Structure 1
Amino acid sequence: MGALSGRTALVTGGGRGIGRAISERLGRDGARVGVHYASDETAAKETVAAIEAAGGEAFTLRAGLGEPGDAEALWTAFDAHADGLDVLVNNAGINKTLDGTLRPFGEMTRGDVERLFAVNSTAPFFVIQEGLSRLRDGGRIVNVSTRLTQGAARSDLIAYAMSKGPVDVLTRSLAKELGPRGITVNAVAPGAVDTDMNAGWLRGETNAEARAATGALSPLGRVAGPTEISDIVGFLASEDSRWVTGQWIDATGGALL
C-alpha cells in the first residue's frame, strides 16, 4: 500500500509541468487525484492517463481561476467526482502579463498586475476557504510559492514575486488557524525548473549559456526537474510530515545560500 492509499487529492494546474509531476507522484503514492486545469484539457487528460497506466486513479476537472466564482466552480466540479478531500495542492499560477509576455516594471499595466494577483494569491485564498468544509481533519495543504519572495526579483518578475508574497503569509497564518484540526499547511518554493513553460530560455543549444548560469546558482550545479519539486510535495502530503507546518520550504537546490 502507498503512503496515501485511500486518500483523495486535488492539484490545481495539475496537468502540466510541476503540477503534472505532483499529480503523478501523489497517484503513485496511492491517492485518487483530481487533476485541475483551466484551458489545456488535453494535458490534463494525458496526466490522468499516465496515473492510470501506473496503476493509480485520477480524474480531471475544469475551472478558470482568477475570476469571480472560480472557487465555487472548482469545488462544484470536484464534488461531481469525490465526497471529501485529504490533500490540497495550490499549484496553479502565472508569471506573464495579459498578452502572454514578460515586461519590465515600468511597462506593467494595472490590468497585468491585477491579473497576477487574482490568479496567484486571491484564487488560492478562496479555493482553500471554500474547500475547508471538504478537507478532512488531519489533511494537508501545500501551496506552491517561489524563491523570489525571499530576495530581489529582476524587473520583469517583480509583480509576479509580489503576487506570491501573500501565499507565504496565507501559509503561516492558516497553519495556526487549522492546527487544531490536525491540518498542516506548508509552502514549497522552487527556483527555476526545467518545464515546458521555461523551455524557451532553458532548453536547446542556443540557451546553453543561460542553462549553465542558472544551474550554477545551486551548489549542486544543475537545473531542477519537476520531480525535484513533486517529491518534496509528496513528503508534505504524507504522514511522515505530520510535525511540519507553517513552513516555507526552500526548493531551489541551495540557490539562496
Structure 2
Amino acid sequence: MQQSFLAAQTTAFNAWISGYIDQGTSYLKLKQINEDLTAQNKALMSELYGKDKSANPQFRRITDTIGGGQIYTFVDADIVNNSITRKDNYFTIDRGKRHGVFPKMGVIAPNGIAGIVVNTTNNYALVQSILSVNKIKINAALKNSGYFGTLTWRGDNSRTMHLADIPKYVPLKVGDTVVTDGKSSIFPQGKMIGRVAGYEVDSKTGYWDISVELNQKMGNLQKVFVVRNLKKLELKQIQDTLDAAIKND
C-alpha cells in the first residue's frame, strides 16, 4: 500500500515537473519570438524612416506613388507630453528647427494621423492634436468610393471624429475605411485614419454625418513621424495665382 502511494506521488510529481518544463519552454519560445519580431520591426523602421537615435536624425525621402509621384520626407520623434481631455489638445515632440521641423508640417503616428505642427524651438515642436474642436480640419476620403469630405472632432470622445460633406447617395457601411485624401499639402494620400462606426443624414445639410473610429489611440501616443512635402512651396505658389485671379474678377 505504501509503495503504491509513493508510486502515485512520484508519478504526479513527474507529471507536474513535465508540465512545468513544457510551460517554461513555451514561455522561452514566445519570448524569443517576441524578441525576433521586435528586432525585425526595428530593422524595418530603420530602413524606411532612417531611425537611428545615435545619429542626428534626418528626413528620409519617400515616394508616394499613389499621389502621382509626390515626394515626402519623414523624421521620427518621441512624445514629450500629450493631452486628450481639453477642447483643443496639443502634444510636444523632441524634434525642432535643427531637425528640419517647422510649423504647418503634418504629424503621423504608426496607426493613423496625429496632428499638425504649430510652433517650434531648436529642439522641440508643439503639435496641434487632431483632437481639437476649433483649430483643425482634415481632408479625408472613403477608401472604397473615393468620395472625400472634412474630418473634425466634436470634443466628446477621444476615439471618434466626424466626417462631413459626403453626399447621402454615396453607399456606406459600418467598417468602411477612411483615409487621408492627399488634397492638402499636409498629409500623404492614403494614410489610414479609421473606420466608419456609424452614420446618419444631417438634417441641416442633407449630407452624411459619419462617425469615424480612429485607428490610432491618441491617449497612448509614444512615437510619431513629422511629414515634409517637398512640393509644398510649388503647390502654394500655384494656389496663390488662383486667389489673385479670383480677386481680380
Q: TM-score scaled by structure 1?
A: 0.26
**Structure 1 or 2: larger helix share?**
1
**Structure 1 or 2: larger strand share?**
2
Max radius of gyration: which structure? 2
